[in-house]
């Protein structure tokens, strides 16, 4: 029973997944620091108010904190923007540079000089107009 558990734990994809989760958590801290330390103050400098949590309204003695929702949406958009422009776009550019395009396959047909229909390269006579090909 322990042998099977040991094989499961040390299987490559389980270890890779564990490393990916830890790296994701660490990277999440970096992205959150970027958003809180740089992007949110930048937004506050432009919009004039970095925190919307004080915004609310009351209806029938129920307090609706719509400012918290606005903070969550702004935070999500800032994190998504940071991830896209600082991770996704650069990685896509690097991948595009490193990707080698496959050469086009050699042609297997050619046009008939008489009727311009496509014929196989080894053909000696056109199947459409019966012209003799040289």
pLDDT value for 118: 92
Planar angle of CA 14, 19, 20, nearest 5 degrees: 95
DSSP-based three-state secondary structure for 17: helix
Taking the domains of the chain in order of start, what are their residue ranges?
2-98, 107-134
pLDDT value for 54: 81
Contacts by 109-113, CB closer than 8 A, 24 or more apart = none
Domain 2-98, architecture per CATH: Orthogonal Bundle (1.10)
β-strand 57-59 against 118-120: which pairing, if any? unpaired
pTM for the model stands at 0.53
pLDDT value for 3: 83
The residues of the chain scoring below 50 in pLDDT are none
With residue 7 as reference, give the H or E element that holds it: helix 2-9
pLDDT value for 7: 77
Question: Is residue 31 within 8 Å of 82, Cβ to Cβ?
Answer: yes
Q: Residue with structure tokens 């949110």?
A: 40
pLDDT digits (tens, 9 = 90+) for 46-80: 877 667 778 888 888 888 888 888 888 888 888 88
């Amino acid at each position: 029973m322990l042998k099977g558990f040991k094989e499961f734990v040390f299987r490559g994809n389980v270890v890779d997944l564990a490393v990916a989760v830890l790296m994701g958590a660490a990277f999440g801290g970096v992205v959150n620091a970027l958003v809180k330390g740089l992007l949110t103050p930048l937004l506050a400098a432009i919009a004039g108010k970095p925190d919307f949590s004080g915004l609310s309204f009351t209806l029938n003695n129920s307090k609706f904190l719509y400012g918290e929702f606005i903070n969550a949406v702004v935070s999500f958009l800032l994190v998504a923007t940071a991830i896209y422009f600082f991770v996704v776009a650069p990685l896509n550019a690097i991948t595009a540079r490193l990707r080698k395009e496959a050469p086009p396959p050699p042609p297997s047909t050619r046009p008939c000089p008489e009727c311009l229909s496509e014929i196989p390269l080894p053909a000696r006579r056109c199947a459409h107009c019966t012209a003799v090909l040289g």
